[in-house]
Every structure is written in structure tokens, then in C-alpha cells.
Amino acid sequence: MTKRDFDAVVVGSGPNGLAAAITLQQAGLSVLLLEGKDTVGGGLRTAELTLPGFRHDVCSAIHPLGAESPFFTTLPLAKHGLEYLYPPVAAAHPLDNGTAAILEQSLAATAARLGTDAPAYQHLLAPVVRDWERLAPAILGPLRLPEHPLVLARFGLKGLLPAQLLANLHLKTPEARALWAGMAAHAQLPLANVATSAIALVLLALGHRRGWPLPKGGSQAIATALTAHFIALGGKVETGFQVTSLRQLPSAHAVLLDVTPRQLLTIAGQQLSGLYQWQLRRYRYGMGVFKIDWALAAPIPFTNPDCRRAGTVHLGNTLEEIAAAEQQTWDGQHPERPFVLLAQQSLFDATRAPAGQHTAWAYCHVPHGSQRDMTAAIEQQVERYAPGFRERILARHTLNTAQMQAYNPNYIGGDINGGVLDIGQLFTRPVLRLSPYRTSAKGLYLCSSSTPPGGGVHGMCGYHAARRALKDVFGKRVELPDMVPLVQ
């Protein structure tokens, strides 16, 4: 192997780029990590977007997958300052009748509040909670022969069902159906789509394992800890380096790109085969998001007290209303009452706002590339369950889909999942190949959320892409150690 400037170069410092860089560096390589912005993080950044002293998560905010990632849990991130805070209620879902379904760590306690649906809820979730450590490597990785086929098959029988169908088969009460719908809607797909039950099962199970945590000080803390660990291993980071062509890069045996297919075509199009380029151009991006951050004079005055104990609140009323809103959005419309995902980190993290004041974070789904201002619609949904909310707003900051993409080029059309996560692109993202991480160019790999397992702050796309490069280019085999056992 001829001498190069670095063994490997990783472009993009989101959670997947960082995971890829760490995996390569741990294997004894010399690795350079390049980031176009002035700070690392991708979707893991925190900033004073509204007023001085109010720290807002620019993109991701709540991190159940980060805290349970099979890769991140092997790293000494606490040593580098990462501390997760766990709200007493992971998620709450208020309804117009005044009740609220809540996700607590206790499976039994959560089920008990669902009335006649308690046995059905436990039947759905207990196996996933119990088997998570065996399921995670298969769910959070590329398509391959599973280590525990029966466990995965049991999950697949439920997870492959459309979320709306599964609810109609098993759940009767408005509270249970609404809780389920809010979880499934994280997929950014119509609830009638195949496999939308999978994300609901995973998010609920993670809530019952430990909860849905937020990083103390903001999501930037995750990126900061990952970067510190990478540097401690001997890695090199360069920020403010915007890559538009492979010709800009120092010489290396392997290059890993934390970008989506559209950027890959721009950066490396001439090096890619015609067939591979054709496949990339057929890649589908999904719904976008419209996001708001608020600086608040006081906490959100939710009518239901359980919502005031929750880190995350889903606003959308019944399953039927959420399903209709998500279908309308998928069809290119803007529902009058969109499904809203809201986080209230400052209730549990005093570092987020000046004493006595608060922050809140929320977004709704919108059609791909939509430029419509959804501020009024989102705030009306909050006011619906928290009368007087608007009177507490000191300042707000909004991002439409174009602004989201300008902030992070991976958010094409506002799609924060790196492409549609439906059954057609779940394991074949970005194209159907023996390895989804290899491109058609030798030594060039894709490590973004446009590869399996897709969106979310877990780093597994980067980890698996790095493993592929290590085997192909350097003849090294890397396997994760056993997952960190659950601390009861």
C-alpha cells in the first residue's frame, strides 16, 4: 500500500461521520475528519437562536436511540462530559377529552393507564423490551442473516404491519390508539404504509428500557463528547472545510462521505459508474419539517398535569386525526391541524434558559420543499392543550425546509431522515447492492443516514460503513463488543 497523507478521510461530522471516524481511528488508522461548518455536529448543535441565555437544539433534541446505540454505548462519552437527563415521563399525548396517554419507564404503569387496552399493550411491547439487546444489531444495521432469527421474526410480524392496521387489530381506547399513532408518525410516512409499526415499537420499547433522555447543556454535548474521544484517540478534525469535489481532499486509501445521494453525485459524480449514478438519481426524499424554537417567560401551561412532567409531548389528538394529517402532508397538502412533536428540555435542564424562564422546541411535517410558514398552525396546536401558551412567548425562531437544508445540506427539502424510510428504501438505501455503503468507486464509501438503518442519532450508519471500508481496503475485521447491559 503506497504512502498517503491519511489512511482515511471522513467528510461530514454528524453522528454518522463521527461514528465512522472513531471506528476507523480505533482500528489504528490515521483519520482526518472534515466539516464544512465552523463547529462539528451536523444535526447535533445547540445555539442561542432567540435571546441571550436561551439555548436551543437546532435540530435533534431527544435521544432514546443515542443513549441505547449499540456503538455509542461502547464509548467513554461520560468521561468527555456527556450527561443524559431522563424526564419522569418520556412522552405524553394529550387528547381533547382532557385525558393524556403517557410513556413511563415502567411498562406495567404505562399499560395500567390504558384501561381495557392494558393487556394488548403489554402483549405488543413486552417482547421488544425484553429482546432489545438481541434485536438492536439487526434493526440498526444492513440487511443480513440475523443472529437471532426467531426473535427478529417475532418483531417483524408486528413491525411490518401498517401502524393504522395494527392499532385497528389490537387497540380500542382513544388513549392507546393516540399514543401508538404519535410514535408511528415519527416515520414521516402515512400511517397506512407498510412497516410504520416498526418505529412505534422501537420508540416505545426504548422508553420502557431507560426513557427518552436529553443531553445536559444541549444536543451539541453529544457531538462534543464524540469529537473529544476521536481526538483523544489521535484523530484530526478540520472545520470550515466545505467539500464540493473529491479533488479537494488530501490523498487517502479510503474516503467516507456523510452525505446523501444528491451531494454524492455532485462531489464524486465523475468517479461513479453510469449505472450507480442512475440509481442514485432515482433515490426518493420524503416529507420535510417546519421547526420553531421559543424563548418562554414560564413553562408551557398544559391543562393535563402529566404533560408538564414530559420531556416530549405529541400534539395531534386521536389516531384518526394524526393519520389524516400525515396522509395530507404526504399528498402535498398542509393540514390545518398538523401533528406536532414538541420538547420542553428546560423543565429538566436548568442550563437551557435564564433562571425562572424556559425554552421549547417543536416541529411539524410539511410537504417536501414546502416554503409555507406553519407558525400559526403549530402554535394553535400547542394552545389547544395549553391555553395561555402564546402569552408566555418572549421570542421565537423558525426554520422552513429551505432554511433547514441551508443549515444542513443533508436535509434535502427539509427531509431530516436522509430520504424516505419506507419498505422500498429501508434496507436498500441508497441503492440495491451487496453492500449499501460501498459506492461504485474503489475506496469511496457512503456513511450517512441515506444508508441502513437510516435516520436518528445512533451512529450506526457510520459504524457499519467504517467496518466495510476496514475490511475492503485494510483487511481488518471489526465487531462491536457486547452491548452495555441495562442498569436497573
Could you tell me if 420 and 286 are in contact, meaning their C-beta atoms sit under 8 angstroms apart? yes
CA atoms of 245 and 380, how far apart (whole Å): 45
Domains and CATH numbers, the chain: 6-44+69-82+215-283+415-474 (3.50.50.60)
The confidence score (pLDDT) of residue 485 equals 33
How many residues are recorded in the chain?
488
Given a cut of 80, is residue 486 above it in pLDDT? no
Instruction: Say which DSSP state 438 is in.
Output: B
The whole-number average pLDDT for the span 140-162 is 91
Contact 317, 338 (CB under 8 A): no
Distance CA 49, CA 399 (A): 11
Read off the pLDDT of residues 256-280 as tens digits, 9 standing for 90 and up: 999 999 999 999 989 999 999 999 9
Say if CB 467 and CB 27 are below 8 A apart: no
pLDDT bracket for residue 2 (50, 70, 90): low
Using one digit for the tens of pLDDT, what is the confidence trace for 347-376? 999 999 999 999 999 999 999 999 999 999
Whether pTM > 0.75 for this model: the answer is yes
- The CA-atom distances, in angstroms, between 130 and each of 107, 127, 210 are 11, 5, 12
What is the arithmetic mean of pLDDT over 285-307? 98
Among 439, 441, 450, CA closest to 142: 450
- Mean pLDDT value of segment 464-471: 97
Task: Please report the pLDDT score of residue 197 as a whole number.
Answer: 98
Chain mean pLDDT for the chain? 95
Q: Are 340 and 365 in contact (CB under 8 A)?
A: no
Instruction: Report long-range pairs for 474-481 (Cβ below 8 Å, ≥24 apart).
Output: 474/7, 474/27, 474/29, 474/253, 474/254, 476/27, 478/23, 478/26, 478/27, 480/70, 480/71, 480/74, 480/137, 481/74
Mean pLDDT of 39-68: 97
pLDDT the model gives residue 146 = 81
CA 164 to the chain's CA centroid = 22
**Is residue 482 over pLDDT 60?**
no
Taking 60 as the threshold, does the pLDDT of residue 488 lie above it? no
| Spatial separation of the C-alpha atoms in residues 316 and 339, rounded to whole Å | 5
- Each residue of 328-347: pLDDT tens digit? 999 999 999 999 999 999 99
417/411 Cα distance (integer angstroms): 7
